[in-house]
Amino acid sequence: MQLIDGKAIASQIKKEIAEEVNTIKANGGKTPHLAAVLVGHDGGSETYVSNKVRTCEEVGFKSTLIRYESDVTEKEILACVERLNKDADVDGFIVQLPLPKHISEEKVIEAIDYRKDVDGFHPINVGRMSIGLPCFISATPAGIVELLKRYNIPTQGKNCVVLGRSNIVGKPIAGLMMQKGYPGDATVTVCHSRTPNIKEICLEADIIIAAMGVPEFLKGDMVKEGVTVIDVGTTRVPSAETKSGFKLKGDVAFDEVATKAGFITPVPGGVGPMTIISLMKNTLLAGKKEIYK
Ligand SMILES: Nc1nc(=O)c2c([nH]1)NC[C@@H]1CN(c3ccc(C(=O)N[C@@H](CCC(=O)O)C(=O)O)cc3)C=[N+]21
């Protein structure tokens, strides 16, 4: 079994980005600027957003964090998006999800200028990705693809099973794994809460991407020997062992599955750090106007 060390790969890419930012600045170019909008005080969102802001500092980006209480109105959030769309200094921005129930995530995402949508959640970016046009690819799927590449994991003609059909992970990663080229050219099966025979399907898989958000869903008896397992789950469960009182749990029963897997990502330290780094890459691309003028 080989552990896929997302944390190590992410810090390597972080150095590459920091060097490029230095060069841009040395040549009198504009410092890339990422803004993040955070609504409410949910523990997970706070941690992820502060990771993002800290990483911006580490690579030399400018960052702006805009915070709202959870009783903020949809109108106020839409006005904030409009301001960020117009702010010439902001190259890209994200609105951290999930949003409180009284705010429509669809409306907010559609209001974002797709040229600044470094999350890759806007329908224009989603659509362009699905037909293979230049676009912002959402950070988690992009991070997964990068890990497969860096570990030279074969995908062509392989059975890839995606667990979960969310708009931000399941659907886009399924599309990327079946697209032409590498990593891609896989035979993709998407399973979800209504799939009756998930175990049977997983037992045929060469690659399993687990993104259902159900802690320790994938058990040792559901995978074949030598499988590559990518664990996207990040559920916070209460824990007495940690200072924060929470522990991060993946969608994979790690110990059981690791004994059979060829490659496996840990949680934390797997896909999470790669998600952050992909967001930085998208922000750099936005700053350089490489995808959209
Ligand atoms: N608009 C938006 N964009 C997102 O990209 C987005 C979002 N909303 N909502 C929530 C999910 C989740 N997500 C993660 C980011 C970093 C880690 C991460 O850094 N994880 C670390 C551990 C962090 C910790 O200790 O809690 C790791 O796995 O090693 C995890 C999950 C981004 N998301």
Residue 289 lies in a domain: no
Residue 11 lies in a domain: no
- Distance from Cα 52 to the centre of ligand 1, integer Å: 9
Q: Do 275 and 52 form a contact (C-beta atoms < 8 A)?
A: no
CA 20/CA 92 separation, integer angstroms: 17
The kind and range of the H/E element at 59 are helix 43-59
Q: Do 231 and 270 form a contact (C-beta atoms < 8 A)?
A: yes
Same domain? For 143 and 102 the reply is: no
Same domain? For 103 and 181 the reply is: no
Q: Are strands 235-238 and 246-249 parallel, antiparallel or unpaired?
A: antiparallel
Domain span including residue 205: 139-273
Burial of 205: CB neighbours in 10 Å, binned 0-12, 13-18, 19+: buried
> Could you tell me if the CB of 51 is within 6 A of ligand 1?
yes
Q: What is the number of the ligand 1 atom nearest to the C-alpha of 273?
A: 19
Q: Do 276 and 52 form a contact (C-beta atoms < 8 A)?
A: yes
- Distance from Cα 157 to the centre of ligand 1, integer Å: 30
Kindly report the protein residue whose alpha carbon is nearest to atom 1 of ligand 1: 96
Q: 168 Cβ partners below 8 Å, 6+ apart? A: 97, 121, 138, 140
> Could you tell me if the CB of 276 is within 6 A of ligand 1?
yes
Q: What is the number of the ligand 1 atom nearest to the C-alpha of 236?
A: 26
Residue 9 lies in a domain: no
Pocket test for ligand 1, best of 275, 279, 282, 283 (most atoms within 8 A of CB): 275
Same domain? For 143 and 262 the reply is: yes
Same domain? For 151 and 268 the reply is: yes
CA 5/CA 19 separation, integer angstroms: 22
Q: What is the ipTM of this complex?
A: 0.96
- Distance from Cα 66 to the centre of ligand 1, integer Å: 17
Q: What is the number of the ligand 1 atom nearest to the C-alpha of 119?
A: 3
CA 224/CA 243 separation, integer angstroms: 37
Residue 10 lies in a domain: no
Pocket test for ligand 1, best of 4, 52, 66, 234 (most atoms within 8 A of CB): 234
> Could you tell me if the CB of 4 is within 6 A of ligand 1?
no
Residue 285 lies in a domain: no
Domain closes at, from 74, 95, 113: 113
Q: 86 Cβ partners below 8 Å, 6+ apart? A: none
Same domain? For 167 and 232 the reply is: yes
Same domain? For 83 and 168 the reply is: no
Same domain? For 176 and 261 the reply is: yes
Residue 268 lies in a domain: yes
Active-site positions read 52, 96, 119
Residue 85 lies in a domain: yes
| Binding region | 164-166, 234
Query: Distance of alpha carbon 14 from its chain centroid, rounded?
Result: 16
Q: Which of 259, 247, 159 is nearest to 209 (CA)?
A: 159
Same domain? For 92 and 40 the reply is: yes
Same domain? For 48 and 84 the reply is: yes
pLDDT in 10s for each residue of the chain, 293 residues: 999 999 999 999 999 999 999 999 999 999 999 999 999 988 788 889 999 999 999 999 999 999 999 999 999 999 999 999 999 999 999 999 999 999 999 999 999 999 999 999 999 999 999 999 999 999 999 999 999 999 999 999 999 999 999 999 999 999 999 999 999 999 999 999 999 999 999 999 999 999 999 999 999 999 999 999 999 999 999 889 888 888 999 999 999 999 999 999 999 999 999 999 999 999 999 999 999 98
Same domain? For 107 and 228 the reply is: no
CATH number of the domain to which 187 belongs: 3.40.50.720
Residue 129 lies in a domain: no
CATH number of the domain to which 55 belongs: 3.40.50.10860
Count of structural domains within the chain = 2
